[in-house]
Chain A
Amino acid sequence: MTSDINPRAEQYRELRDPMRDLCAQFDSHYWQAVEAEDAYPEAFVRALTDAGWLAALIPEEYGGAGLGLTEASVILEEINRSGANSGACHAQMYIMGTLLRHGSAEQKARYLPRIAHGELRLQSFAVTEPTTGTDTTKTKTFAEKRGERYLVNGQKVWISRVQHSDLMLLLARTTPLAEVRKKTEGLSIFLVDLHAALGHGLSVRPIRNMVNHETNELFFDNLEVPAENLVGMEGQGFRYILDGMNAERILIAAECIGDGYWFVDRARAYAGDRIVFDRPIGQNQGVQFPIARAYAAVRAADLMRYEAAGLFDAGRPCGPEANMAKLLAADASWEAANVCLETHGGFGFAAEYDVERKFRETRLYQVAPISTNLILSYIAEHVLDLPRSF
């Protein structure tokens, strides 16, 4: 077998090689130390930022690299493939997309170059709410226009990286649900300056959770947001969110693919080394078949990821492919995680092997940023024309 179990690793070598060099500097010891302290991987994110990797999708005119989505997806894939977790920083790569597509010329000129340069972190997007969950159009957080500003009141939950961001995008209702023609109308997106907001109408309560991932409850109590921080048109926020979804799905799929290859790699290495009953455990079909199956699933999902990314970069519709790529890749990485843990037996539970950490991390992709059921309902309704379920 070739040295890389991913035959596609031959493509985009100019991105993969330097990414692998960089990630190799942040090895297992680094991630275990970060995990033990429940800390933000600041040095890793800094190194990625300084070398410009997180500005991959920002156009060159704003100081980014102006790469396509396929290339950006390769970057995130390599992060996860190295044993690291993109979750700490992936959003810096794509949240700015909303600003890029719908922000005013003035907003773009003001923020994008500084985001590209790494001076400003825009890696939080507050959508989810405790009482409405996935049903985004029921968003209760309300932004009421008062002259040159909006007053925001409400509550959000699971909002990630707020404590490591300078700016945050916020989805809030600007017209009550009862007063809009369609429930998808009347939602707006705001750019919130977190330094100005904290302690002045915004409070943040961290949520302890299953992975080392900084995520929070947010409470808005008459937070003032200047009217000039409205992104795009008032009332069109839901559509703007949909516009960013395909890109996000594809990037997340690539992270899952990176995880999947990592798990299969670890599983096959361990299965080859571990001697029990005087032979490598990998000689037993009961051990090797699940690894083979997981590998096949990762490869298959990877095809869908490239299909979706290729369509996206060609400017063609890719909703079905992007959703299926996310579904298949998240399932494949989760299967591979399970198999990898199983192959390691008791040692899979030891933090030292990184398997249990990656196992927990990859589990998240089934739920966030979008749960598997919601993807399935998209495919059923929008691809297969089955009746709408909700």
Chain B
Amino acid sequence: MNIIVLVKSVPDPAAKVGVRDNKIVEDGLAWEANPYDENAVEEAIRLKEKYGGKVTLITLGPKRAEETLKKMLALGADEGILVSDPAFEGSDELATARILAAAIEKAGGYDVIWAGWTGVDWNQGIVAQAVAEYLGVPHVSFVTKFEVNGQTARCETEVEGGREIIEVDLPAVLTAMQTLNEVRYASLKNIMAVKRKTIPTWGAADLGINPAEVGKGAAHHHLMKLIPPPERAAGRVLKGAPEETVQELVRALREEVKVL
């Protein structure tokens, strides 16, 4: 079984991200794999362990995204491909999906394509579905359980207030929820094996993509302004005897915060 996983390099979700000139400040920011992509990689490796085959990771991003790719390879994936080109910078979700779909076609011969259900950076959650459209294959989102039965797969997915059981034809694009599995630790042997791997970089020319049709210039939506969340005002601690502090609390809730 050939499995492709789309992996995105995102800023450490725990980091405090600054904003300058309508862009996030990248200095000193640690980059990691999108957490749900880790679940996607884990599921792919489990499939490979069960059915044999190959796991290929594809990342679209700048050169530094290679580090994220290596970390994910160390979980036990076979190959990593970095899709990178200055022409791709500023691509919107649709163009991103187009580029990724082209890379998947070039990698060739897939049975299953996994991705995380959303990227924790911009939280759009639409690239994987668009990739499925470009490839002309079905997709199932928010997968929490996955079983292959010959040419189809049974997916359990999370929906508001319940679950859905979906049977899907393969090949298909699936997006992983955190509850899909528990991600393993990178093993020392795989870490050492990654050192011996070369990660090819595919640009617009390799993928037969016209640079004019992707990137910032071709985007259908534009970021007008990026505004960091307002600094939270410091809290206030009421001190004194309970009778007094309770009175003061009620007064503050009524008159200052106006919630009562």
Q: How large is the interface on A (under 10, 10 to 19, 20 to 34, 35 or more residues)?
A: 10 to 19
With A17-B71, A18-B74 in contact, is A56–B188 under 8 Å at CB? Answer: yes
Per-residue 0/1 for A42-62: is the Cβ within 8 Å of any B Cβ (1 yes, 0 no)?
A: 000001001111011000000
- Name A53's contact: one of B28, B70, B74, B188 (CB within 8 Å): B188
Q: Are A55 and B188 in contact (CB under 8 A)?
A: yes
- Chain B residue numbers with a CB within 8 Å of A245 are none
Cβ-based interface call for A65 (8 A): yes
- Chain A residue numbers with a CB within 8 Å of B184 are 51
Cβ-based interface call for A14 (8 A): yes
Per-residue 0/1 for A1-28: is the Cβ within 8 Å of any B Cβ (1 yes, 0 no)?
A: 0010000000000110110011000000
With A17-B71, A18-B74 in contact, is A51–B186 under 8 Å at CB? Answer: yes
- Name A18's contact: one of B28, B191, B195 (CB within 8 Å): B191
Q: Are A65 and B74 in contact (CB under 8 A)?
A: no
Cβ-based interface call for B55 (8 A): no
A66 to B193, CA, bound (A): 12
Cβ-based interface call for A275 (8 A): no
Q: Are B186 and A21 in contact (CB under 8 A)?
A: yes
With A17-B71, A18-B74 in contact, is A65–B192 under 8 Å at CB? Answer: yes
Minimum Cβ distance to chain B for residue A27 (Å): 14
Output the nearest chain A residue to B192 by Cβ-Cβ distance.
A65
Interface residues of chain B: helix, strand, loop or mixed (majority): helix
Cβ-based interface call for B245 (8 A): no
Per-residue 0/1 for B148-192: is the Cβ within 8 Å of any A Cβ (1 yes, 0 no)?
A: 000000000000000000000000000000000000111111011
A66 to B189, CA, bound (A): 9
Size of interface on B: residues with Cβ below 8 Å to A: 14
Cβ-based interface call for B194 (8 A): yes
A66 to B196, CA, bound (A): 14
Minimum Cβ distance to chain B for residue A77 (Å): 15
User: How many inter-chain residue pairs (CB < 8 Å) link A and B?
Assistant: 37
A143 to B233, CA, bound (A): 75
A34 to B189, CA, bound (A): 29
Q: Are B186 and A18 in contact (CB under 8 A)?
A: yes
B185, B187, B188, B192 — most chain A CB neighbours (10 Å): B188
Minimum Cβ distance to chain B for residue A16 (Å): 11
Minimum Cβ distance to chain A for residue B69 (Å): 13
A17 to B184, CA, bound (A): 14
A21 to B192, CA, bound (A): 17
Q: Are A65 and B189 in contact (CB under 8 A)?
A: yes
Cβ-based interface call for A67 (8 A): yes
- Chain A residue numbers with a CB within 8 Å of B195 are 14
- Chain A residue numbers with a CB within 8 Å of B188 are 15, 51-53, 55-56, 65, 67
A220 to B70, CA, bound (A): 51
Minimum Cβ distance to chain B for residue A62 (Å): 12
Minimum Cβ distance to chain A for residue B49 (Å): 14
Q: Are B74 and A52 in contact (CB under 8 A)?
A: no
Output the nearest chain A residue to B188 by Cβ-Cβ distance.
A52
Q: Are A14 and B191 in contact (CB under 8 A)?
A: yes
- Chain A residue numbers with a CB within 8 Å of B74 are 14, 18
Q: Are B192 and A51 in contact (CB under 8 A)?
A: no
B191-250 interface with A by 8 A CB criterion: 191-192, 194-195
With A14-B194, A14-B195 in contact, is A21–B185 under 8 Å at CB? Answer: yes
- Residues of chain B having any CB pair with chain A under 8 Å: 28, 70-71, 74, 184-189, 191-192, 194-195
